[in-house]
Amino acid sequence: MEFVECVPNISEGQRPSVIEAIAAAARAVPGARLLDVHSDRDHNRSVLTIAGPPDAVASAAFGVAEAAVRLIDMRLHRGVHPRMGALDVLPFVPLGGASMELCVDLAHRAGERIGCDLGIPVYFYGEAAIRPERRLLVEVRRGEYEKLLTRIGTDPSRAPDVGPSVVGPGGATAVGARRPLVAFNVHLRTDNVAIARAIARAIRASNGGLPGVQALGFTTSHPGLVQVSMNLFDLRATSVAAAVARVAEEAGARGVELAHSELVGLMPAEEALRAAAAALDLPSLARSQVLELALSDQLALPDQLPDQWK
Amino acid sequence: MEFVECVPNISEGQRPSVIEAIAAAARAVPGARLLDVHSDRDHNRSVLTIAGPPDAVASAAFGVAEAAVRLIDMRLHRGVHPRMGALDVLPFVPLGGASMELCVDLAHRAGERIGCDLGIPVYFYGEAAIRPERRLLVEVRRGEYEKLLTRIGTDPSRAPDVGPSVVGPGGATAVGARRPLVAFNVHLRTDNVAIARAIARAIRASNGGLPGVQALGFTTSHPGLVQVSMNLFDLRATSVAAAVARVAEEAGARGVELAHSELVGLMPAEEALRAAAAALDLPSLARSQVLELALSDQLALPDQLPDQWK
């Protein structure tokens, strides 16, 4: 059976009743599994992780979109993370044997419904981008909700791919398809957010830093801690372990110590195994060397093949 | 569904045709999955990992026992690892929801068949031990095959729990039940096996070292490398990451560098996640934070509960 993942990012990280009502819309769809809800008060943002068969995940994604647009008013939203809509970002991700083409198709169909049925301007990004300049989310979201309010009707480069060229209280949504990514925050023991920002600039791919890494520096609500917040888009090029090591190196050069890290949402098993191998000096650690993963991979194969076929 | 693991250790690590014939006996049982075969030429020993429903695993274990006794002649066996039989050790391990009682019962039933049907002296160890002094494998195997030849008939403390008090070419077998363990080798960049042995003595639990750790120092067939070979029996007390760190510390104190590590067989997912968390400065990394594990755990739950029950 093919499985896909969908990771709606909603612009609410503070009001539990709103977050729960939106999460309930995902759970209400038979077959879809809501694996995680990660809320951040400072970002005022929550990341939902939904997985399951493609049609169930697509239905759950639309349910989340409808609830987010109904319950979140972007005119009132404040948070340190860039955002432009109640449902800010909606990426579809292939798991296991599923193809990227399938996820591009899911993104386009979800975008059509969000644009037409909910009246939300939609921009396709990542592998689902229709305009090449919209492949990067950072380009799509430039200026955020507040600037988009006026530019969407006047600047042709900001015309949506689907939906009205008018921004209401629900804002706009980026809908895309991508490979698995890891969102990961490293905390620094300092009150000086300029250090977090300088490290983010030093390590991000767009400045010639680590390939596949987006990074921003943020304050946190904990005194004495600032945050380097990373999205790791190309885990083969830059593993989470490599990114953490680089942040540690940059922090050390600035005389700052690392505090604990934070995983936002989930990570693919392969990435966890890569980190484990690094910790244990193993050349590698394969799924087939981890009991539960090996057994579930084997159980997915047909039983009772004649012996010589195995 | 309940699953158990069984990890036969056979005294053959050099002849591929013999190892394959014994592995085929495990694969021939419907429902049992042979997840791994790890052979070591220097130990002249292979570790098979079988998992599946209890009855299928028990049948596969007996198939392995029969083939090992038929194909391995202990009179000709040479290897650096302690051993006393063709099928040297046969532990049953509960997975997921399975109980230790179930595995003790599987061990006793498998031991009866090996003792009575194959004519092999069997000693029950671990949680399946009948005599308290046989809980530790190191006690059961003391003197190895060669000393057991004469002592089994003369020394009452070496009388088997099941089977004849006579040792033939198949040797004797320790059959047991235990929690998951990790077998892990750390290599040192030196030709001096005395250093590996000294580190093994320093870290093993029996000398007041790390709790739940058995360790031996071995030569390897690679010039410039010796090995600290560990069994980690109580992963909550001493994780693999902690054991590797301790070996690194002891090696450093002796001016020796670590080379790569080696996982023998498989490790439980929980232990891989613990190592990954250490590498990434995460306070912890739960199954629910790893995509494939979270999805498989969720898929094991009933779908379509009314929303308020989820």
Average pLDDT over residues B149-154: 94
A290 neighbourhood in chain B, CB within 8 Å: 266-269, 272
Kindly determine whether residue A278 and residue B282, on different chains, have CB atoms separated by under 8 Å: no
Reported as a pLDDT band with limits 50, 70 and 90, residue B49 is very high
Domain end (from A110, A144, A177): A177
Domain end (from B130, B145, B177): B177
B278 and B260 together in one domain: no
Kindly determine whether residue B268 and residue A289, on different chains, have CB atoms separated by under 8 Å: no
Q: Per residue, what are the HEC states of A95-157?
A: ECCCCHHHHHHHHHHHHHHHHHHHCCCEEEEECCCCCHHHCCHHHHCCCHHHHHHHHHHHCHH
Tokens of A186: 């490293």
Query: Is the pLDDT assigned to residue A261 strictly greater than 80?
Result: yes
Helix or strand run (H / E) with residue A19: helix A16-27
DSSP assignment of B93-112:
EEETT--HHHHHHHHHHHHH
Which of B186, B244, B291 lies closest to A268 in CB terms?
B291
Query: Is the pLDDT assigned to residue B5 strictly greater than 80?
Result: yes
Average pLDDT of every residue of chain B: 93
Whole-angstrom distance, CA of residue B84 vs CA of residue B146 = 8
A153 and A7 together in one domain: yes
B258 and B286 together in one domain: no
B134 and B234 together in one domain: no
A167 and A209 together in one domain: no
Kindly determine whether residue A295 and residue B241, on different chains, have CB atoms separated by under 8 Å: no
User: Do B279 and A275 meet the contact criterion of CB atoms below 8 Å apart?
Assistant: yes
Kindly determine whether residue A282 and residue B261, on different chains, have CB atoms separated by under 8 Å: yes
Residue where the block lists tokens 């009314």: B306
DSSP assignment of A213-234:
EEEEEEE-SSTT-EEEEEEES-
Average pLDDT over residues A32-48: 94
Query: Is the pLDDT assigned to residue B305 strictly greater than 60?
Result: no
The contacts found for B140-146 with CB under 8 angstroms, 24 or more apart, are: B140/B84, B140/B174, B141/B82, B141/B83, B141/B84, B141/B88, B141/B174, B143/B84, B144/B82, B144/B83, B144/B84, B145/B74, B145/B77, B145/B83, B145/B84, B145/B85, B145/B171, B145/B172
Residues facing A184 on adjacent strands: A230, A263
Chain A closest CA to B185's CA: distance in Å? 10
Reported as a pLDDT band with limits 50, 70 and 90, residue B308 is very low
Helix or strand run (H / E) with residue B205: none
Predicted confidence (pLDDT) per residue in B273-300, tens digit: 999 999 999 999 999 999 988 887 787 6
B272 neighbourhood in chain A, CB within 8 Å: 272-273, 276, 285, 290
Query: Is the pLDDT assigned to residue B302 strictly greater than 90?
Result: no
User: Do A180 and A235 meet the contact criterion of CB atoms below 8 Å apart?
Assistant: yes
A28 neighbourhood in chain B, CB within 8 Å: 307
Q: In the prediction, which pLDDT does A298 show?
A: 80
- Write the CA distances from A201 to A149, A220, A305, integer angstroms: 28, 18, 55
Q: Over the Cα atoms of chain A, what is R_g? A: 20
3-state secondary structure of A172: coil
A31 and A172 together in one domain: yes
Predicted confidence (pLDDT) per residue in A184-209, tens digit: 999 999 999 999 999 999 999 999 99
Which of B258, B282, B290 lies closest to A281 in CB terms?
B258
Domain end (from B136, B151, B177): B177
CATH number of the domain within which A216 lies: 3.30.70.670
Cα atoms in the 13 Å half-sphere on the side-chain side of A32: 27
Q: In the prediction, which pLDDT does B301 show?
A: 61
Predicted confidence (pLDDT) per residue in A9-22, tens digit: 999 999 999 999 99
B24 and B170 together in one domain: yes
A172 and A310 together in one domain: no
User: Do B99 and B148 meet the contact criterion of CB atoms below 8 Å apart?
Assistant: no
Q: Is the dihedral of CA B155, B156, B162, B165 positive or negative?
A: positive
Average pLDDT over residues A83-98: 93
The better pLDDT of the pair A105, A293 is held by: A105
Kindly determine whether residue B269 and residue A293, on different chains, have CB atoms separated by under 8 Å: yes
Tokens of A77: 């939203």
Whole-angstrom distance, CA of residue A110 vs CA of residue A61 = 8
Helix or strand run (H / E) with residue A237: none
User: What are the catalytic residues of B?
Assistant: 81
Predicted confidence (pLDDT) per residue in B198-243, tens digit: 999 999 999 999 999 999 999 999 999 999 999 999 998 999 999 9
A15 and A111 together in one domain: yes
Q: In the prediction, which pLDDT does A299 show?
A: 75
Residues facing B46 on adjacent strands: B10, B39
CATH number of the domain within which A77 lies: 3.30.990.10
Q: In the prediction, which pLDDT does B300 show?
A: 67
pTM, 2 dp:
0.78
Beta strands in B201-277 (DSSP E): 213-219, 226-232, 258-264
B260 and B273 together in one domain: no
A23 neighbourhood in chain B, CB within 8 Å: none
Q: In the prediction, which pLDDT does A297 show?
A: 79
B163 and B103 together in one domain: yes
Q: Percentage of chain B with pLDDT > 70?
A: 96
Find the domain containing B254 and state its range: 182-267
Predicted confidence (pLDDT) per residue in B111-146, tens digit: 999 999 999 999 999 999 999 999 999 899 999 999
Q: In the prediction, which pLDDT does A308 show?
A: 38
| Residue in B closest to A301 by C-alpha | B33
Q: Percentage of chain B with pLDDT > 90?
A: 87
Q: In the prediction, which pLDDT does A304 show?
A: 42
Average pLDDT of every residue of chain A: 93
A60 and A190 together in one domain: no
Whole-angstrom distance, CA of residue A69 vs CA of residue A78 = 16
Instruction: Say how many domains are in chain A.
Output: 3
Check if A81 is active-site.
yes
